[in-house]
Each structure stands twice: as C-alpha cells, then as structure tokens.
C-alpha cells in the first residue's frame, strides 16, 4: 500500500463529506419518525426517489429549475407524510409492523416509478450539473455542495425548533411519555401528523438532491437503505443533526479507505466502525 498524496486524500475526504451529507439528509426524516413517532418508515426511501423522479420530470420536461421544483415537492410530500402517518395510526400499526407495512409501500412506489418512467436510467441535466468550484487544488461540485448546505441548514433548523419552541418541546415530551404529555394538553394526533409531514417534506428535499447528483433508476431505492440506517442508528434516533454528523463519519471513513486501500474494503470499515461505536458508546443498554 502506497501512501496517497495530500490532494488525493483531501479530495477523497471531501467526496466522503458530500456523500455523507446525502446519507444524513436521507436519514434525517427517517430518524425523526423512528425516534419520535416510533415508526420505522422504509417508505421514506421510496418517497425520496419519487420526489427525485418528479424533480427530473418537472425540470427536464417542464423546463423548471430543479430547485424551484421544491415549491411543489415540499407541500406534496408533506401531505404524503401526513397521509401515511394517518393510515398507520388509524390501524394502530406497531413499530415492527410499520417496518413491514412501509416496506410494502416502498415496493408499490418502486413499481409506480417503473410504470411511469420505466426501469431505464434517468439523468437530470440541469444548469447545476457540470458546475464546480475550485478551492486550492480541490474541486467542489455545486450539486453536492447544495446537498451539504441543505443538510446542515435543515439539521440545525430542526434541532433549534425541537429545542427552543413549544412545538419541539411537545414533540419531545410525546416521544418520552405520550400519556403524560397528553395529560398536559399536548394533542398527540395533531403533533404526530405534523412531524410526519415534516419527515415527508425532508424526503422530498433529499429526493431533489438525489436528482441533482445521481443517475436515477427505480431499484436504486434499496441501495441506500443499509448505509442510511447505519447513519441513523449511529447518529441517534430522533436527532436531526445526529444522522448528518454520523453520515459524514461513515462517508469520510469509506472515502479515506478507498484512497488508501481497495474500494471494496470501504463497507467493511464503515460497518465495523458502526458496530464498534454502538458497542462502546456510553449509556448503551
């Protein structure tokens, strides 16, 4: 093994930060729903890809700027998130069963995407596609930079809202002790619907970022599940910033492994890191 050059190492680490922010952005809504609503929503990945395809359609066929598609995608996926939560709550689906039910929903979404857009690859060519900045000897692609900025802004905003607003406090109280929170006048049903809507909107935003940076194909939905789950578990359930930070740790560890050794070692390193951190972190039960 030869030691990589400083530029190679820095460029690889930067690539890890960018892919990590994508893991984090995808994991943010998943982790919030898991931690605060006790719903393991696998359909979150399906929603993200559905949003990516909608963005592709609106931008490539409708000629709309991909970022402007957020104006439609955010409210639409907010409503979808609420609808799923309403259904799960209406039928009192348990956390484990929510995993199964939303897996089924993901399969339906995948089939729907394949029906409308076929299984063929779709690549969004937009004004942002080839843009990159040069910082010293490093190249910073604009679509990935947008993902990073969105992940950080959304992560901090949600964290602040959870910490400093009454709504956030109510949501945390519901997650900790729902009957007690209800006794203090917190409307569980309304708050759960609102949070599920936010998670749906986050999936929509992640989808737009996916469309900006990646070539789309329906079966790619599942390629993200393992590593995003790892980021969510590592970052902590119910935390908006945790998955972003953990995603970056996973992304950078994978990227640096690829710079030093064979890329096929990358998943071994990142998942070993996950196991080690889960075993060694303080307060584990």
Partner 1 sequence: MRTGHRFTRGLGVALCSFALLATGAHAQGTQAPIRIGSTLALTGPLAATALVHKVVGEIYVEQLNKRGGLLGRPVEWIVRDDQSKPELARTLYEQLLTVDKVDLLMGPYATGAILSAMSVAQRYDKVLIHHTFGIPSLAKYDKQFPAWSLGPDPANTVPTTVFTALAASPKPPKTIAVVTSKFPSVHFMSLGAREVAKKRGLNEVLFLEWDFGNLDYGPIAARIKDAKPDFLWVGALGLEGNQLLEAMNKIDYAPAEHFYMYPAPGPMSKSPLAKNALSMTMFEEHPPFTNAAGAKEFIDLYHERAAKAGIPDTSVEVQAAASYTAWQILEAAVRGTNSIDDAKMAAWLKANRVETIQGKLRFDGPSNYGDDLMRVKQVQNGRWVTVYPKEYAAPGATLLVQ
Give the count of residues interacting with partner 1 (CB under 8 A). 46
**Site membership for partner 1, residue 48 (CB under 8 A):** no
Tell the smallest beta-carbon distance from residue 50 to partner 1 (Å): 16
| By the rule CB under 8 A, 258 interacts with partner 1 | yes
Applying CB under 8 A, does 160 fall inside the site for partner 1?
A: no
Query: With binding defined as CB under 8 A, does residue 272 bind partner 1?
Result: no
Q: How far is CA 264 from the centre of its chain?
A: 24
Q: Which of 30, 234, 254, 274 binds partner 1 (CB under 8 A)?
A: 254
Q: How far is the CB of 203 from partner 1 (least distance, A)?
A: 18
| Interface with partner 1 in residues 4-23 (CB under 8 A) | 4-5, 7-8, 11-12, 14-16, 18-19
Which residue(s) pair with 135 in the sheet? 138
Stretch that binds partner 1, among 78-86, 190-198, 229-237, 258-266 (CB under 8 A): 258-266
Q: Does residue 34 interact with partner 1 by CB under 8 A?
A: no
Specify the stretch interacting with partner 1 by CB under 8 A; choose among 76-84, 89-97, 146-154, 261-269. Answer: 261-269
Considering only residues 66-95, where is the footprint of partner 1 by CB under 8 A? Answer: none
Stretch that binds partner 1, among 37-45, 174-182, 234-242, 252-260 (CB under 8 A): 252-260
Task: Show contacts with partner 1 in window 164-223 (CB under 8 A).
Answer: 214-215, 217-219, 223
What mask of x and - would describe binding to partner 1 in positions 99 to 138, judged by CB under 8 A? -----------xx--x--xxxxxxx------x-x-x----
CA dihedral of residues 131, 135, 136, 137 (deg, nearest 10): -40
Please state the closest distance from residue 188 (CB atom) to partner 1, in A.
Answer: 37
Q: Which tokens hold the place of 34?
A: 């898991």
Query: What would the DSSP string read from start to end of 196-259?
Result: HHHHHHHHHHHHHHHHHHS-B-GGGGGGGHHHHHHHHHHH-TT-SSHHHHHHHHHHHHHHHHHH
Phi and psi at 31, nearest 5°, equal -70, -40
* Structure tokens given for 144: 């990935």
- In the chain, where does DSSP find H-type helix? 6-32, 43-60, 70-90, 95-117, 142-164, 166-176, 178-183, 188-213, 225-235, 242-260, 266-280
Instruction: Say if CB 209 and CB 66 are below 8 A apart.
Output: no
Contact assessment for residue 70 and residue 212, using Cβ atoms and an 8 Å cutoff: no
Task: Classify 76 as helix, strand or coil.
Answer: helix
Contact footprint for partner 1 (CB under 8 A): 4-5, 7-8, 11-12, 14-16, 18-19, 110-111, 114, 117-123, 130, 132, 134, 139, 141, 144, 214-215, 217-219, 223-224, 227, 251, 254-256, 258-259, 262-264, 266-267
């Amino acid at each position: 093994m030869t030691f990589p050059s400083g530029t190679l190492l820095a460029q690889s680490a930067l690539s890890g930060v960018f892919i990590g922010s994508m893991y984090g952005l995808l994991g943010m809504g998943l982790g919030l729903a898991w931690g605060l609503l006790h719903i393991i929503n696998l359909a979150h990945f399906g929603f993200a890809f559905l949003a990516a395809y909608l963005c592709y359609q609106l931008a490539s066929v409708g000629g709309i700027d991909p970022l402007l598609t957020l104006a439609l995608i955010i409210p639409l996926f907010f409503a979808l998130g609420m609808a799923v939560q309403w259904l799960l709550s209406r039928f009192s689906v348990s956390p484990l069963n929510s995993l199964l039910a939303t897996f089924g929903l993901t399969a339906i979404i995948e089939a729907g995407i394949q029906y409308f857009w076929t299984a063929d690859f779709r690549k969004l060519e937009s004004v942002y596609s080839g843009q990159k900045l040069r910082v010293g000897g490093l190249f910073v692609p604009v679509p990935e930079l947008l993902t990073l900025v969105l992940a950080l802004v959304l992560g901090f905003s949600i964290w602040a809202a959870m910490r400093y607003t009454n709504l956030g406090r109510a949501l945390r109280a519901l997650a900790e002790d729902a009957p007690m929170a209800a006794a203090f006048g917190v409307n569980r049903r309304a708050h759960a619907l609102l949070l599920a809507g936010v998670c749906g909107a986050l999936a929509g935003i992640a989808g737009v970022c996916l469309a900006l940076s990646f070539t789309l194909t329906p079966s790619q939905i599942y390629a993200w599940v393992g590593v995003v789950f790892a980021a969510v578990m590592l970052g902590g359930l119910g935390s908006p910033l945790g998955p972003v930070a953990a995603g970056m740790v996973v992304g950078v560890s994978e990227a640096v492994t690829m710079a030093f050794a064979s890329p096929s070692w990358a998943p071994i390193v990142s998942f070993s890191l996950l196991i080690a951190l889960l075993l060694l972190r303080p307060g584990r039960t």
